[in-house]
């Protein structure tokens, strides 16, 4: 099946029938041990005593792992080594694993862990970004991106507003919790099966912890039951602790976290605090912005620096900022180490500018969509400045207005706004809101060296083919797209291929499947391998067709034929067998590196993104003035995926990303108490969107005639950009809240839970009363 066709996920039937095999679904090995952690009940403390003797009273307990059992480096940090695997003295967050118990069964390990005694000396934790600011507790020096002269521009601005916006984190809540198997071979080598988005990094971390070379560790990812960034680095400590147990006991070991353990132990989306001062004209044009961004990094660094950087690079969203300075810092708090999550800081940066846009609109009594349009990047600007970002990258093929206007037209935006205004006039306790928001999202890894990929294709003499590439499958459909790319590139039926589990012994030194780059990078690598094989097979096929020029041959639909004389053809199977007989290699590697990207971290300037993905969403909500609850009535999306490799997969990604983004902005509330304990670590207390939150009218339209030059078959990334389309839901709720009164600002928390929305309604009503009391009294005359 060629690219561009609607093909079901390659594992769809296995998923819905329960036959799909995940890491912990494999057939259990003889002698396999299970691990269970002993978790700290404190967010910050000193360990004064560990007594593991009680664990051995439980039948089936084999051993207890402490820091003394780590043969190599006791650290699983990804960027810097600041993430201790098993603490010796310091407890850094509530729920931290102090020791692990290995048992013949999961129950034995769990009961043994309950018998371990750990004593602590309590210390005062830092639990919030503001507390970290007050204590000067940071992981990094300030990062700065600057353009123009914002101080002067703010002084000369017609109108200036100051404010701040704080947004919460988000739990990944993948269906499959963290899981790893480690199998020693008895000769000092280890095979790791891990639910990881980054097998090569897991390989590096396991080797580091064991104190051995990477070539003694093979990491395989069969598939993941969801990842969303939560298995990019967070899978590493669980693979590492299983490896330590396997080395100590010489037996295979498994780790599979229970849901509450996963939510307690793993990092989340970073919470952010943005403090801004913005200058603008009476027409709503932004002239200057001064912004401090603070990310809650948690107890260790993890991927916080690139997350913060992407937030700083996306504070513009789709808007031109002529004079701007953005300063970013990573707060060090006593929480889990926050990590990658779909959007990777981009959503947090965009929320800040959308907050600012709405405040400007309401201050000037203009419609927010009007202010948004006036601030768009524009290609038709005479001097070109209005099409260059604050970090110096020119926006080539700007599609912002195109998706924006199409979304407005398809949703009947203007007509519906008039209907909603009439509804709000007639209903004092129910209000509706309509909003449209744009998305411009940069595609590439922030770290330039990650923008590379490899592939390996093996053709067998019967014409069947194994496809290996460096990307991992987490339900997003990457394997499906790679099968389509390979089939088109090699000109054969898709059922010839078997896509193999991602493994470091097939494709080494891979990058994480992240940054929405999986298809872009791996697709080009797969295509490169196919082109190598085609060039070899063409040399074999040409004599069979009595042709002198192999370059004149085409590969399509299992045939190899002359471009000028298509009736001259030979079957793929025949050519493969002849190639083998002629001793021509039937395997090939492929490789790709993204061209023309660079970043100067010192100057905060460069071309970090290969291209941009665009989208626009229109959302309509109805808000109950008594409870603060909302109903999403209608969603209309226009999204740019280039020339889609698989429209069915892309539609699923857009819908799923939107719903996940809506969850972050409206209902998924992480709550820590003043002692640093996470209080929302189960589905009973942490609410994610369900089918009941989805409107009956949920229309997604893929932008047509949108092929992207230089990307695999003209397609565009689709994993992360749709997440930010859900900003339209938050802005629609804000519009509905504003309808409860008359105010020049609607300060709405993120997430906009019913409680937060109700408080915002009450504030709007209070502001309306105050405003009416200040109005002059007219005389009867």
Q: Could you give the residue numbers annotated as active site?
A: 720
Rg (CA), the chain: 28
Q: How far apart are alpha carbons 515 and 517 in whole angstroms? A: 5
In 228-269, beta strands by DSSP E: 253-256
In 25-89, beta strands by DSSP E: 33-39, 45-51, 61-65
Helix-helix angle 304-313:346-363, to 10 degrees:
30
Distance of CA 158 to the CA centre of its chain: 39
Q: How far apart are alpha carbons 686 and 700 in whole angstroms? A: 28
Q: How far apart are alpha carbons 328 and 390 in whole angstroms? A: 15
Burial class (CB within 10 angstroms; exposed 0-12, middle 13-18, buried 19+) of 238 = buried
77 half-sphere exposure, CB direction, 13 A CA radius: 14
Task: Give backbone dihedrals phi and psi of 166, rounded to 5 degrees, phi first.
Answer: -115, 135
Q: How far apart are alpha carbons 740 and 762 in whole angstroms? A: 9
Question: Prior bond to 685 cis, omega within 30?
Answer: no
The Cα angle at residue 681 between residues 24 and 751, in degrees rounded to 5? 120
- Take residue 684 and report the two structure tokens written for it: 């009973």
Neighbours of 25 (CB within 10 A): 15
Which residues, 6 or more positions from 736, have their beta carbon under 8 angstroms from its beta carbon? 424, 431, 432, 433, 621, 622, 623, 630
Listed residue (771, 750, 773) closest to 365, CA to CA: 771
In this structure, what DSSP letter does residue 80 have? S
3-state secondary structure at position 49: strand
Listed residue (761, 287, 722, 359) closest to 516, CA to CA: 722
Q: For residue 180, what are the β-bridge partners?
A: 194, 255
Q: How far apart are alpha carbons 636 and 590 in whole angstroms? A: 40
Helical ranges in 636-700 per DSSP H = 647-666
Q: For residue 635, what are the β-bridge partners?
A: 619, 698
- Take residue 572 and report the two structure tokens written for it: 């793929």
Q: How far apart are alpha carbons 378 and 362 in whole angstroms? A: 24
Q: What is the DSSP string of 320-344?
A: --SSEEEEEEEEE-SS------TTT
Which residues, 6 or more positions from 608, have their beta carbon under 8 angstroms from its beta carbon? 313, 391, 393, 442, 444, 446, 448, 597, 598, 599
Q: How far apart are alpha carbons 585 and 580 in whole angstroms? A: 7
Yes or no: say if 333 and 368 are a contact pair by the CB < 8 Å rule: no
- Take residue 174 and report the two structure tokens written for it: 């993948």
- Take residue 484 and report the two structure tokens written for it: 């389509």
Q: What is the DSSP string of 595-623?
A: -S-EEETTTTEEE--SEEEEEEEEEEEEE
717 Rama class: left (phi>0) / alpha (psi -120 to 50) / beta: beta
- Take residue 139 and report the two structure tokens written for it: 């992981």
Q: What is the 3-state secondary structure (H, E, C) of 706-736?
A: CCCCCCHHHECCCCCHHHHHHHHHHHHHHHH
- Take residue 56 and report the two structure tokens written for it: 């051995």
């Amino acid at each position: 099946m060629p690219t561009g066709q609607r093909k079901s996920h390659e594992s769809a039937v296995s998923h819905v029938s329960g036959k799909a095999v995940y890491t912990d679904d494999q057939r259990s090995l003889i002698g396999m041990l299970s691990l269970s952690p002993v978790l700290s009940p404190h967010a910050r403390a000193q360990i004064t005593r560990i007594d593991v003797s009680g664990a051995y009273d439980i039948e089936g307990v084999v051993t207890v792992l402490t820091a003394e059992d780590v043969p190599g480096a006791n650290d699983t940090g990804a960027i810097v080594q600041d993430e201790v695997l098993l603490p010796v003295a310091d407890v850094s967050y509530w729920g931290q694993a102090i020791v692990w118990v290995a048992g013949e069964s999961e129950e034995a390990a769990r009961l043994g862990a309950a018998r371990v005694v750990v004593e602590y000396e309590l210390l005062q934790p830092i639990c919030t970004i503001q507390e970290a600011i007050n204590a000067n507790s940071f992981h990094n020096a300030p990062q700065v991106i600057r353009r123009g002269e914002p101080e002067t521009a703010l002084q000369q601005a017609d109108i200036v507003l100051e404010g701040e916006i704080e947004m919460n984190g988000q739990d990944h809540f993948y269906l499959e919790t963290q899981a790893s198997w480690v199998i020693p071979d008895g000769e000092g080598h280890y095979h790791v099966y891990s639910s990881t988005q980054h097998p090569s990094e897991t390989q590096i971390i396991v080797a580091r912890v064991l104190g051995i070379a990477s070539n003694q560790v093979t990491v395989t990812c069969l598939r993941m039951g969801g990842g969303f960034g939560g298995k990019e680095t967070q899978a590493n400590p669980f693979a590492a602790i299983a490896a330590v147990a396997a080395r100590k006991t010489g037996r295979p070991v498994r780790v599979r976290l229970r849901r509450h353990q996963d939510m307690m132990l793993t990092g989340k989306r970073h919470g952010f605090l943005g403090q801004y001062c913005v200058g603008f004209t009476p027409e709503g044009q932004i002239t200057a912005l001064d912004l401090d961004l603070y990310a809650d990094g948690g107890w260790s660094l993890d991927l916080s620096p690139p997350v913060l950087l992407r937030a700083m690079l996306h504070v513009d969203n789709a808007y031109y900022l002529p004079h701007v300075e953005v300063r970013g810092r990573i707060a060090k708090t006593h929480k889990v180490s926050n990590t990658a999550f779909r959007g990777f800081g981009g959503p947090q940066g965009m929320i800040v500018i959308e907050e600012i846009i709405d405040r400007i609109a309401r201050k000037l009594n203009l419609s927010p969509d009007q202010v948004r349009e006036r601030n768009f990047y524009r290609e038709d600007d005479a001097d070109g400045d209005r099409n260059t970002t604050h970090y110096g990258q020119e926006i080539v093929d700007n599609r912002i207005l195109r998706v924006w206007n199409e979304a407005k037209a398809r949703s009947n935006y203007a007509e519906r706004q008039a209907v909603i205004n009439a509804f709000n006039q007639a209903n004092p306790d129910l209000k509706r809101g309509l909003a449209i928001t744009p998305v411009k999202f940069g595609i590439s890894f922030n770290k330039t060296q990650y923008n590379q990929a490899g592939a390996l294709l093996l053709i067998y003499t019967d014409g069947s083919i194994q496809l290996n590439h460096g990307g991992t499958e987490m339900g997003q459909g990457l394997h499906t797209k790679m099968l389509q790319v390979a089939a088109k590139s090699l000109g054969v039926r898709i059922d010839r291929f078997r896509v193999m589990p991602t493994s470091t012994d097939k494709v080494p030194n891979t990058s994480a499947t992240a940054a929405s780059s999986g298809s872009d990078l791996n697709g080009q690598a797969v295509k490169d391998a196919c082109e190598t094989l085609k060039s070899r097979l063409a040399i074999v096929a040409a004599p069979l067709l009595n042709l002198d020029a192999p370059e004149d041959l085409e590969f399509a639909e299992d045939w190899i034929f002359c471009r000028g004389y298509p009736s001259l053809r030979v079957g793929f199977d025949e050519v493969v067998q002849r190639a083998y007989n002629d001793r021509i290699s039937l395997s090939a590697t492929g490789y790709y590196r993204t061209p023309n990207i660079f970043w100067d971290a010192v100057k905060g300037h460069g071309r970090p993104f290969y291209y941009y993905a665009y989208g626009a969403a229109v959302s309509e909500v109805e808000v109950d003035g008594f409870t603060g609850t909302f109903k999403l009535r209608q969603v209309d999306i226009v999204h740019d995926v280039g020339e889609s490799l698989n429209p069915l997969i892309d539609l699923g990604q857009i819908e799923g990303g939107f719903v996940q983004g809506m969850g972050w902005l409206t209902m998924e509330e992480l709550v820590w108490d003043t002692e640093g304990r996470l209080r929302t670590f189960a589905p009973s207390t942490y609410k994610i969107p369900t089918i009941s939150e989805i409107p009956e009218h949920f229309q997604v339209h893929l932008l047509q005639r949108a092929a992207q030059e230089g990307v695999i078959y003209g397609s565009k990334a689709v994993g992360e950009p749709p997440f930010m389309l859900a900003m339209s839901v938050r802005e629609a709720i804000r519009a509905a809240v504003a309808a409860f009164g008359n105010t020049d600002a609607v300060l709405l928390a993120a997430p906009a839970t019913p409680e937060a929305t109700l408080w915002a309604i009450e504030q709007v009503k209070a502001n309306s009363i105050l405003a009416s009391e200040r109005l002059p009294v007219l005389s009867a005359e």
